[in-house]
Amino acid sequence: MTRKDQRSPVGPAALRQQANEQKGIRQGLYTPEERQRRDESAWTIVQGVLAPLQFLVFLASLGLVVRTLTTGEGAFAADISIVVKTLVLYTIMVTGAIWEKVVFGKYLFADAFFWEDVFSMLVIALHTAYLVMLFGDYGTLEQRMFVALAAYAAYVINAVQFLLKLRAARLQAEAEDAAETPREAVAA
């Protein structure tokens, strides 16, 4: 009887993948083992909840920041919203690092997410600079709001990076599933 739930560890695809891994070449975003760890990890769900939450907080905060810059009103609400956005960012970064450790064996800068992590450091630095300005009473309100806008622009770029990775992971999974289907049909 042929197993249909797993690829053969000695089949052509597995041998090609092993040869590429020995050369340091990644075929896709996830190896089969990483994909399994990702799918089984509770941290994947945590990231799946926090990412859209962060986006909603970002949208609300962006509106408040723009309002403050255009009308001069609502500075306190804008400041509170940026602090909340920053706290959500810190939370998603810590839980994301844990997720990366579970899936890839490294807290940050795993090969599959290296550039996303690098850009995330810029996002964190800008958000943190805003907090330093707020709590250290550095700069003007307008300068602080512009730092927040820079942080938000970096966040949007970083979010697009991650969305592209999600799409790549979905396409990889579809391709791997499609590659398995013909073998399963032949084996049956």
Whether the CB-CB separation of 158 and 116 falls below 8 Å is answered with yes
Q: Alpha-carbon distance 184 to 188, whole Å?
A: 6
Lowest mean pLDDT among 80-89, 109-118, 169-178: 169-178
What sign does the CA torsion over 136, 142, 148, 151 have? negative
Task: Tell whether the model's pLDDT for residue 71 goes beyond 70.
Answer: yes
Task: Tell whether the model's pLDDT for residue 76 goes beyond 70.
Answer: yes
Confidence of residue 167 (pLDDT cuts 50, 70, 90): confident
CB atoms within 10 A of CB 36: 13
Task: Tell whether the model's pLDDT for residue 17 goes beyond 80.
Answer: no
Confidence of residue 11 (pLDDT cuts 50, 70, 90): low
Mean pLDDT (the chain) is 85
pTM over 0.85: no
Which element (helix H / strand E) includes 111?
none
DSSP result, 11-63:
SHHHHHHHHHHHTT--SSSS-HHHHHHHHH-HHHHHHHHHHHHHHHHHHHHHH
Q: Alpha-carbon distance 183 to 188, whole Å?
A: 9
Task: Tell whether the model's pLDDT for residue 21 goes beyond 60.
Answer: no
Q: Alpha-carbon distance 110 to 176, whole Å?
A: 22
Look at residue 3 in the predicted model and tell me its pLDDT: 47
Q: Which carries the bigger pLDDT value, residue 12 or residue 72?
A: 72
Q: Alpha-carbon distance 62 to 148, whole Å?
A: 9
